[in-house]
Amino acid sequence: MLREPAAFAAAPVWFAVFPDCPSAATAAARLRPLADRCLPHPSGRPLLLGRWPGAQEAAETVCAAGAGGTVLALIGQQGAGTAALERAAARVRTTEAAAESASGVPGSFHLVASVDGRVRVQGTLSGLRRVYAAEVAGATVAADRADILAYLTGSGFDDRRLALRLLSPTLLHPLTDEPVWRGVRCVPPGHFLLYEQQGRAREVRHWSPPDPRVPLAEGAPALHAALRDAIAARTTGRAVISSDLSGLDSTSLCCLAAREEKTRVVAFTAASPDPLDDDVMWALRTAKAVPGIEHHLVPYEEMPTIYEGLPQLREPFDEPCAVIADHARWLALTHRAAAAGSAVHLAGFGGDELLIASAAHLRTLLRRSPLAATRTLRAYAAANRWRPGHVLRQLRTRESYRDWLESVAGSLTDPPPPPDRPALSWGEPPRLAPWATADAADAVRELIREAAPDAEPVSASPGGHDDLTGLRYAAGPLRQIGQLALRDGTALAAPYCDDAVLDAALAVRPDHRRAPGSYKPLLVEAVRGTVPEEILTGRTKSITNSNPDAALRAHRAQLATLWEDSRLADSGLIDTAALRDLCAGPLQHHPHDLHSGLYQTLACELWLRSLEQRPAALDQPAGTPITDEETRP
């Protein structure tokens, strides 16, 4: 099944990148009628085609500059400014120098550089800003959305890759990094796409995870500086900015933003009926203690529940969105942010994954510092009631990543392991929900076993691999929820996914990022003096801010309409009778995490339906086309 091209063309921001050669003309001509912006190479051929705001003050836009045979473009949220980019373009003579000039720019953005016929396209380390590539009529074309390239190649989606999206969690490198569209590939984060002058491109690695040996005392100031710069990149020149104010991650961002004297900070906290949820209490204390925060408490009755408003949703994402079941709750806050005049909304996405080191680091720590590892292991085991025998067996194993993938293939339909048996290898083994068909399970096993012989982890250590893949898993849905928020004119900003912030945190020793008896010690030290002391020392993570069981009971009838004529069932991937029976029965004490599996199933079902129906967003007027001359840097 193909996607109607107008679907991605109506997305708030998108772009494609073309090499500076005649062979790219066919692809550019096909895409040009759908674009309302064009940035040319120095030669005059299209470098970028797409859709983005023209105003430089927009939160998500293209900042471009050119000099001689060079064009530089930063696409996203960045703190460089046109003047600085113009100075960089004037001195850049290679694509390597272009990347070096952008490496110190805070924010989150794609880099596109055209230098004397060579082109470099680079996303972010977290995978929030992705780069996709495909071969089109003899040239390699890149884009920030996979469906753009599927349109250019005329390819449909792959049923087996869609079946992978039913995994819970959908976290299985390198398989779940790849798009669902045939003939389209994802450039791995930490790599860039380099076009040579003939129009073909190759992937080049430019980053490897740092060896985490920096002590807390040294790493905390570095993280503070990176977060401060990340906030400044979003606040500079803005009269108002908005922020979540709930957990420690978003509270830290909100307090850093409040230090920017020329920017008003509007903060939102969603109330909860659960008396054990203390986020509201801490948010009220923070707003009272920190000048410059205008706090809004959203009553529980005004907050949508999980699973609300799904049957009618037809947003044209380029892949299934893993948190679509919760989209209404996110938009309830960004709608309010837009109404307050905020073009940027700070969110704590990625904070947990970045700042709480994986327990799998114990394997490395055991080799480097056996005494410290033993003390840490005892504390973890006591706090989490881990089974000592299971933990020791995991720590002694020398299982390779390829072997681990093979074991995952064999356990897809098993019940998840009990909580007293932690995953201390390459990550949490994903599972398929019990309503996935045997055909779906066979397809996923087949893909895993095809990939396993050549698969390489993203880090040499299991803990480092788990940290990075977890962060990339968190960044994926933000890219899509951000698309929904942008329709209101508000961009979601996730500083914990910025390259500089990621580098600063991952360089710190894992046992200093996660220590028994303390909560996010690295972040606490990094924002000490910015966040009120009582907030830093008195709180932990709240996990009671929603009741998925109650939400499912409230929306069972609406969800049932999706399963009556299920596209996933038509594809042979789910058994809707089993799904209806499980969701209609008792939800407690089930061996599977029904909600996690249901999230993924809804993501795939709604995505398939979005391919068939003209989304409401397509009825909005397109942007005003502009000429090449008007966009020339």
pLDDT < 70 regions, the chain: 55-57, 275-276, 539-546, 586-592, 613-633
Q: How far is CA 613 from the centre of its chain?
A: 26
CB neighbour list of residue 168: distance below 8 Å, 6 or more residues apart: 430, 431, 432, 433, 593, 596, 597, 599, 600
Residue-wise pLDDT for 268-288, tens only, equals 999 987 766 788 999 999 999
Distance CA(360)–CA(469), nearest Å, equals 13
- β-sheet with 293-298: strand ranges across: 293-298, 264-270, 240-244, 344-346, 491-493
The three-class DSSP label of residue 211 is coil
Q: Any idea which residue has 């980053």 for tokens?
A: 207
Phi, psi angle pair for 67, to nearest 5° = -155, 125
**Residue of 514, 218, 504, 540 lying closest to 373 (CA atoms):** 514
Question: Is residue 427 within 8 Å of residue 174, measured between CB atoms?
Answer: no
CA angle 171, 596, 385 (to 5 degrees): 85
The per-residue pLDDT for 625 is 42
CA angle 481, 486, 490 (to 5 degrees): 105
* CA gyration radius, the chain: 24
Distance CA(191)–CA(121), nearest Å, equals 9
Cis peptide before 53, with omega less than 30 degrees from 0? Answer: no
**Residue of 27, 194, 52 lying closest to 109 (CA atoms):** 52
The per-residue pLDDT for 344 is 96
The per-residue pLDDT for 401 is 96
The three-class DSSP label of residue 332 is helix
Largest CA distance in the chain: 69
CB neighbour list of residue 633: distance below 8 Å, 6 or more residues apart: 39, 64, 65, 66, 71, 72, 73, 89
Cα separation values, 577 from 550, 564, 566, Å: 21, 9, 11
Instruction: Give the pairing of strands 240-244 and 344-346.
Output: parallel
Residue-wise pLDDT for 95-124, tens only, equals 999 999 999 899 999 999 999 999 999 999
DSSP sequence for 130-174: -EEEEEETTEEEEESSHHHHHHHHT--B-HHHHHHTTEES---TT
Query: For the CA atoms of 380, 382, 388, 391, what is the dihedral angle to 10 degrees?
Result: -20
Question: Is residue 503 within 8 Å of residue 210, measured between CB atoms?
Answer: yes
Distance CA(633)–CA(612), nearest Å, equals 39
The per-residue pLDDT for 143 is 98
CB neighbour list of residue 484: distance below 8 Å, 6 or more residues apart: 315, 327, 330, 331, 334
- What is the second-level CATH architecture of the domain 5-207? 4-Layer Sandwich (3.60)
Distance CA(106)–CA(227), nearest Å, equals 9
Question: Is residue 78 within 8 Å of residue 111, measured between CB atoms?
Answer: no
